[in-house]
């Protein structure tokens, strides 16, 4: 009986095995999707979006020659050939970014400083002479304007949204080759203390910047403007205006550029917050400030906001608006970004006592010295 049962089960088992084989070979294999090819990362759309807004800038400057200067002295004049040219023309190049359909273009101040003629070349081949609307040497920004129809302003991002590690693209006119794009990441934020007496809060990037990139766009992967390419900081600790392709790339954040450009358009100059105080950094041991950072007041402008608030020479400032002092230049930058009429809370120490003072910010319309004004 058991032998007959085994003989009856064998066809059933064989049928099951054949069904599994058919299912695996012809049915499951036909419906199994093939692995997707690896994704190809491209930033072509971002570049295509931003490129029409990035321009090449060419400048000419007439400068006296050394021989021409010697002609002012009768003694040296006799040794200078009569046909010696008394002037020569210097040419330079840079980049800029279109901000409005009215033709406003932001660039670096060092790109157009002292220029007698400025020519702007668009990505579509059109060109136009540019006039200077205003400059702000303290931030190395300048505003130009051209008169052409159908301009494409760049889409503005916000540098406050930028994060270390974000991918960025630098667009400009390196070495006069025409518009070029380099790629990198944001290596650091709020870099300052690199140049004396300037308002600084640079975006640091490893995107390659050459001479001619200055004033060009630093964009995100959606084509939005994050900063204005400005400098290369090289290994010899010298800030270079984009002359070399090595070192640390620095860009002026778009939030600061927007602040400066709005004032240049409306007032022709930048109106910054002014406190009317001179300070020096000091390491405060045993104080309330983190890491012992503080500012010692060395001078107070008579009748200025700090004077009216009750601040005195010798006071030690530890906080502004309840935020601890970190660095003289950082403090200068923060105060400058305030508007006249804004209220500022100052925490200071005088004769061992903590004071909470209230100041109404005034207006600073001139470039600052090395200390907060």
Helices of type H across the chain: 2-22, 29-31, 44-50, 66-70, 74-77, 109-112, 254-267, 305-309, 328-336
How far is the CA of 314 from the CAs of 16, 126, 300, in angstroms?
A: 96, 59, 10
Query: Of the listed 214, 220, 255, 334, which one is catalytic?
Result: 214
Where residue 126 falls (left for φ over 0; alpha for ψ -120 to 50; beta otherwise) is beta
Which of the following is catalytic: 92, 104, 110, 201? 110
Q: How far apart are CA 231 and CA 213, in angstroms?
A: 9
Is residue 31 helix, strand or coil? Answer: helix
- Quick one: which of 147, 130, 140 has its CA closest to 198? 140
**Is 214 annotated as catalytic?**
yes
By 3-state DSSP, what share of the chain in percent is helix, strand and coil, each rounded to 5? 25, 35, 40
Catalytic residue among 95, 136, 140, 263: 140
- Note whether 230 and 250 are within 8 A (CB): yes
Among 111, 137, 10, CA closest to 56:
111
Distance CA 12, CA 16 (A): 6
Separation between Cα atoms, residue 243 and residue 55, nearest integer Å: 18
Task: Tell me whether residue 110 is one of the annotated catalytic residues.
Answer: yes
Q: Is 191 left (phi over 0), alpha (psi -120 to 50) or beta?
A: beta
* CA-to-CA dists, residue 18 to 9, 26, 29, 239, angstroms: 14, 12, 16, 77
Active site residues: 110, 140, 214
């Amino acid at each position: 009986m058991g032998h007959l049962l085994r003989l009856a089960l064998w066809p059933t088992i064989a049928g099951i095995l054949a069904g599994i084989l058919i299912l695996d070979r012809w049915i499951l294999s036909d419906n199994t999707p093939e692995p997707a090819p690896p994704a190809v990362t491209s930033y072509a759309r971002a570049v295509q979006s931003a490129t029409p807004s990035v321009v090449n800038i060419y400048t000419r400057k007439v400068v006296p020659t050394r021989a021409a200067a010697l002609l002012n002295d009768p003694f040296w004049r006799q040794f200078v050939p009569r046909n010696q040219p008394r002037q020569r023309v210097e040419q330079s190049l840079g980049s800029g970014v279109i901000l409005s359909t009215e033709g406003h273009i932001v660039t670096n101040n060092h790109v157009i400083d002292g220029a007698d003629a400025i020519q702007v070349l668009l990505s579509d081949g059109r060109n136009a002479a540019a006039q200077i609307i205003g400059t702000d040497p303290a931030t190395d920004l300048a505003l130009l304007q051209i008169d052409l129809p159908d301009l494409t302003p760049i889409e503005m991002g916000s540098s406050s949204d930028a994060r270390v590690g974000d991918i960025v693209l630098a667009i400009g006119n390196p070495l006069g080759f025409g518009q070029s794009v380099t790629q990198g990441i944001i290596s650091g934020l709020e870099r300052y203390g690199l140049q004396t007496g300037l308002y600084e809060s640079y975006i640091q990037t490893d995107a390659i910047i050459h001479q001619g990139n200055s004033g060009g766009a630093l964009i995100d992967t959606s084509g939005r403007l994050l900063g204005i390419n400005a400098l290369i900081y090289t290994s010899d600790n010298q800030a270079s205006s984009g002359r070399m392709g090595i070192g640390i790339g620095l860009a002026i954040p778009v939030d600061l550029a927007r602040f400066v450009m709005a004032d240049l358009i409306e007032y022709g100059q930048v109106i910054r917050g002014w406190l009317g105080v001179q300070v020096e950094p000091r390491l405060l041991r045993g104080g309330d400030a983190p890491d012992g950072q503080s500012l010692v007041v060395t001078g107070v402008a008579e009748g200025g906001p700090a004077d009216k608030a009750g601040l005195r020479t010798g006071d030690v400032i530890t906080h502004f608006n309840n935020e601890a002092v970190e660095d003289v230049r950082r403090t200068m930058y923060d105060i400058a970004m305030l508007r006249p009429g804004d209220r500022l809370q100052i925490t200071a120490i005088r004769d061992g006592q903590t004071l909470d003072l209230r100041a109404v910010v005034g207006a600073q319309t001139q470039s600052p010295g090395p200390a907060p004004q």
